[in-house]
Structure 1
Amino acid sequence: MRKQSFKWNIPILGGIEFFSFFGITSFWLLFLSQQGMTLWEIGILESIFHLTSLLSEVPSGILADRFTYKNNLLLGRIASIISAGLMIVSQGNFWLYALGMIFSAWGYNFDSGTSQALLFETAKEIGLENRYLKLTSLLNGILEATRTLGMVVAGFFVHGGLIYTYYIQLVLSLLSIVGIACLKEPTIKMANDNKQSSWQILQMVYRLFRQQTKLFRQMLVIQLLLTIISMYYFYYQNQLPNLKSWQISGIMLFSSIVNLLSITLSNLIGKRYQSSLILWVMLFLSGGLFLMTALQQDWLYALIFLITDGLVVLFYPIYETELQNQFVSEVRATMLSVYTMLGSLAMIFLFPLMGWLIDYFGFNQSFVGLGSLLLAMAIWMRCSKNKRNGANPKIVK
């Protein structure tokens, strides 16, 4: 009976993620551009988001490990509501947008790592810990489906109505709060005698990094590479006004299909291939695709968007599962927050830099240059592996 009650956490968590991350505001870059922000200013706003995330990720993870997962998720949705409200009332004011980005980051921080930790601990409660990759692939499938479904809907607001997407986000955040109230907290979170202080949690994280000396560096490299590939996903938005609303929604719908296929394949591929090989393929394919932006074809831009986004979606649950198996329950949310924090660190520098490059050199030239960089990285990875006489990189299983 106890296991049965915890099983409900999985579908409830799926529902919470559906409403929390419905991609209705995915075209925020285009929205800010329509409100008079330059790409350089948008890059600064995105850096504010990621600087906030960088500073808040670990504290939010500590709160999740120190207290309850449900409280963290609730704080995240409250922050999301405040952020949406600020975006609605800003009306071209840079500083109000900046404040909205800060609350948006907090909305992300309090969920980041917490939902994955809750899912892993729930799997342990019901004896499905060895099936976590399948469960997290399922959750990521829901996330990708809801993100892209939201983008499909948002596509109809692209030509002048994107502000209404933030009203929709307000309603969806309230629905998420209802779901959070229905979650059952894992046993380890309810045992008061086992709770660690914030200082003890930080000490445990430090000891884990000392014991696995290359772990931090590996996590940073992975996040840096994923961020570089993801640049296209963000800045492709500025090309969307060249298309009709139904074409935009069609691309986003097809993106949902591609991402769901990627999630399905991640569960199969992750059991058969090492993550280093998958990462190398990602770099090689993404680099080649970015070079093709030189052809300046709208249909090709869309194809590059679909494939590169699908590759990131494919890789993420595979590597995240590897990380989960290296963490202990007492610091699980904190360690996942450290991993996410490293992604924010990469975005702080790369996002405004890419915005400046596009403003100065143009969309096509900038991504041709980025494609050349990715191909060089792929070649370097292959040469480094050959020099190690075929030894497997430490970032793999």
Structure 2
Amino acid sequence: MSILNDLQELEKAGVISKDTATRIESYYKGRNDTSTNKLFLVFGVLGAILVGLGIILIIAHNWDELPRGLKTGAAFLPLLVGQALCSFTLLKKHQNVVWKESSAVFLFFAVGASIALISQIYNIPGDLSSYLLTWMILTLPLVYVMRSSMVSLLYIIGITYFASETGYWDYPTDSPYVFWLMLAAIVPHYYLLLKKSPHSNFVRFHNWFVALSLTVVLGTFSKQMDELMFLAYTSLFGLFYLFGTSKFLPDRTTKNAYTLLGSLGTVIILLILSFNEFWEHLIKKDMFLSEISVAPEFIITIILTVLAMVFVYERFKSSSNKSISPFSAAFLLFIPVFFIGTFSPIAVFLINFLVFAIGILTIRDGSNRNHLGILNYGLLIIAALIVCRFFDTDLSFVIRGLLFISVGVGFFFANYRMIQKRQGND
């Protein structure tokens, strides 16, 4: 690094002292070691995956020619190798992150391969859902024994796939309620990561994986009243946004997984509901209170809404600034609009007004914070609303064209004013 090469010259010229030069050198060498460790970690995990897959392919190539006893031994071989590597790591390399992650990932896939091979050798009946469930339960201890964040991420993928297989592709057989217990089992590891390494890449990946997993799996509980899932999803996205900007998450920026997914999800849901078709269907549908109160969609909606309202209360209680983002309050405003829509077509107008208000307030927030990204996000929301109405109304092409021109001029003018304001401050 060039700065390290100049240290001796700066020291001789009297610009810095010898002690300062030593500390600068130690700092940059420490930074290089960290980068090297991250690189080793990535390649170590990839190497473990490739070695595991290679062993499986070699065995699979000669599988039909092997006797049952040898097949059984071959099925347990990756498992034994993985356990040996993990044991060696715990005894000799317990401080080495690369060894811990690599050996844990290898054993994770070895467990899955062994289960599949033994089932095939002895013709053990079962489906993909039960296979994934067994695999994830058996590998969960690896997360805590090896303290492996990579296995934790793979585990989240596995339980999401299990829930999707059970709730979507095996529909309408069952709802994957065990998913919540399995997700709760990983929460202690996630919490420790947030406390010990709040700005690490593993935390960022966990944020995305958990948020996406919940978004995907929530739809598997739609069984009786699909319409109520819109309430559930708006509450979930509101909860995401509130959690992403709360004191519980160290990275409280507009760029973390929860705030991004919460705001985007809210806007997408509201834009979908800004069309007439859904509300026309809702008015015609007979919805009785006795049926709604016992529907799983309603119960999940209540739970998510209460959790989100707890975060709203905490925000008002702990913050001196009582203002709240439109993405945090959208789920509260949507609830009465939804129930109005069960008997009145005015809900369509209210939804469109809500989306427009969110766009305007976002533009205002971006302007106040001198943030071009937030400003343009608000403009994009309004542009998306106009595009939706382009296909949904009987307005003439002249008026539609004027609307698009207005949005384009708005984009240019707002960005120009923001840039001028920044230059004026400089």
User: Shared fold (TM-score greater than 0.5)?
Assistant: no
Higher-Rg structure is 2
Length-normalised TM-score, structure 2: 0.29
Higher RCO structure (Cα 8 Å, ≥6 apart):
1
Question: How high is the TM-score relative to the length of structure 1?
Answer: 0.31
